Chains A and B, each alone.
Chain A
């Protein structure tokens, strides 16, 4: 924050006002893991309802493979296209403007709906803890969204410093719970052998495993958000791959520990419907200390996720304005705090409106749908990127291995996830695809004429192969 104030002078002397490069790998980690970790506290467990406890574990690993592919692909492309907007800027340079416009909308929808879900979760958790008649979640939802928007408004460094601290506390709480239940001993606290048996492990068979993909996404949903910090990290080529891959490793460990503890303490019928699997696990230990720790950790995880989502959605919206895909009014940067303040303020009432009128399931589904559409794009994007700019033609901060295997794995898993979503929320899926189709028509036939076509491609790259 001090840096922001000190450098504000430059902004008023006729220089350009740009976002501030103050972040390091730890902030990238805090952004990515902060957005995702709430998925361990609620969300992943609904996959047990779809296919049983073993299905929740199977999708934990398979979806982990999907997201490892996402993290590797993202790290390579973003370490090269280091601009706010993340996947939007990638799509613009590699595929084209129409794809970029759609990807930016995927990002804004995914993060805003996730922010809404986080705020609802936080409000509901406090109301559940209080148990007071007449107490509603509205005030807590409003405070979550407004306070975090204010934090984002005031500067990215403080925003992600806060995210680092609260994410670390939430993560450590999972580790403390894991070791408190003596995971090396079955029968004392954990009863995995009794709760997950050959008879009930996959109650709906393999179709249940496919259906479980829809909520298995929650183990890792949002790790790709690290790329939105690309224009604010001091060394994008180093910090982004390092922070993203470290975040993914952290999440794989957290997901495994969470499943093991929860599946060993709760029957799948209950695990699949509770909103608070880790808090419930804390209660089941019989320790008031663990119960309260997991309650606080649930709140902190929701706060960290909403905080990161506000950061990312605002940068995607800001990038659209900067390229005139939307009115350039949205591309204003605060001259003192160096944040996209108009984008933050514009998205604030939208998030509040959805939080007050939408229910948690709908908000989560819209977030997941937009996220999976984005991952599908990423699998195509990396193939085009390698084809147009082969290794050796431009400088890359990170080169992901085994290409094109991760892209193929990612694409196939996205298809399976779409099928799983269709099974549970077919009408929402069709409505969302129709929305993106209509908005694409609007962009192509109306909005694109306002875009300064030469100005939008900013990377000093050689001509792509074949052009």
Chain B
């Protein structure tokens, strides 16, 4: 049973790794680099914090 579990672990690891690589390729070819790297730090704070204490 333990050896079967070990083989199953290898199988699951390979399948999920391939899925992530496929999804990575799909996203990078579908969206522009500008969109994917458009996140900016502190956007919420810039709106909510007034600092008038």
Question: Which residue of B has the minimal Cβ distance to A16?
Answer: B38
Contact across chains for B10 and A459 when beta carbons are under 8 A apart = no
Residue in B3, B6, B37, B42 whose CB lies within 8 Å of A331: B37
Contact across chains for A333 and B39 when beta carbons are under 8 A apart = yes
- Interface membership of A82, Cβ < 8 A: yes
Interface band, chain B = 20 to 34
Question: Which residue of A has the minimal Cβ distance to B6?
Answer: A139
Contact across chains for B24 and A341 when beta carbons are under 8 A apart = yes
Whole-angstrom distance between the alpha carbons of A85 and B41 in the complex? 10
Residue in A331, A335, A393 whose CB lies within 8 Å of B53: A393
Tell me which residues from 1 to 50 in chain B have a Cβ below 8 Å from any Cβ of chain A: 2-3, 5-7, 9-10, 12-13, 16-17, 19-21, 23-24, 27, 31, 33, 35-46, 49
Given A143-B9, A149-B20, verify A11-B35 contact (CB < 8 Å). yes
How would you classify the secondary structure of chain B's contact residues: helix, strand, loop or mixed? helix
Tell me which residues from 216 to 269 in chain A have a Cβ below 8 Å from any Cβ of chain B: 231
Whole-angstrom distance between the alpha carbons of A143 and B5 in the complex? 11
- Chain A neighbourhood of B27, CB < 8 A: 334-336, 341
- Interface membership of A395, Cβ < 8 A: yes
Given A335-B31, A395-B53, verify A459-B19 contact (CB < 8 Å). no
Given A11-B35, A17-B36, A328-B37, verify A459-B42 contact (CB < 8 Å). yes
- Interface membership of A409, Cβ < 8 A: no
Question: Which residue of A has the minimal Cβ distance to B51?
Answer: A394
How would you classify the secondary structure of chain A's contact residues: helix, strand, loop or mixed? loop
Contact across chains for A335 and B51 when beta carbons are under 8 A apart = no
Contact across chains for A17 and B46 when beta carbons are under 8 A apart = no
- Chain A neighbourhood of B45, CB < 8 A: 82-83, 458-460
Question: Which residue of B has the minimal Cβ distance to A127?
Answer: B2
Whole-angstrom distance between the alpha carbons of A117 and B3 in the complex? 23
Contact across chains for B49 and A460 when beta carbons are under 8 A apart = yes
- Chain A neighbourhood of B38, CB < 8 A: 16-18, 333
Whole-angstrom distance between the alpha carbons of A461 and B33 in the complex? 30
Whole-angstrom distance between the alpha carbons of A132 and B3 in the complex? 8
Closest beta carbon of chain A to B4's beta carbon, Å:
11
- Interface membership of A164, Cβ < 8 A: no
Encode contact with B along A320-336: 1 for CB under 8 Å, 0 otherwise. 01110000110111111
Contact across chains for B13 and A143 when beta carbons are under 8 A apart = yes
Contact across chains for A461 and B13 when beta carbons are under 8 A apart = no
Closest beta carbon of chain A to B17's beta carbon, Å:
5
What are 20 A-to-B residue pairs whose CB atoms are below 8 Å? A12-B35, A14-B35, A18-B43, A83-B45, A132-B2, A135-B2, A135-B3, A143-B10, A146-B17, A147-B12, A150-B16, A150-B20, A153-B23, A321-B37, A323-B41, A332-B33, A332-B36, A335-B35, A458-B46, A462-B51
Query: Which A residues contact B (CB, under 8 angstroms)?
Result: 11-12, 14, 16-19, 21, 82-85, 89, 126, 130, 132, 134-136, 139-140, 142-143, 146-147, 149-150, 153, 231, 319, 321-323, 328-329, 331-336, 341-342, 345, 348, 392-395, 458-462
Known: A140-B9, A153-B20. 12 other contacts (CB 8 A): A12-B31, A12-B35, A83-B41, A139-B13, A143-B9, A143-B10, A146-B17, A332-B33, A345-B20, A393-B51, A458-B45, A460-B51
4 nearest CB pairs, A to B = A458-B42, A143-B9, A130-B2, A332-B36
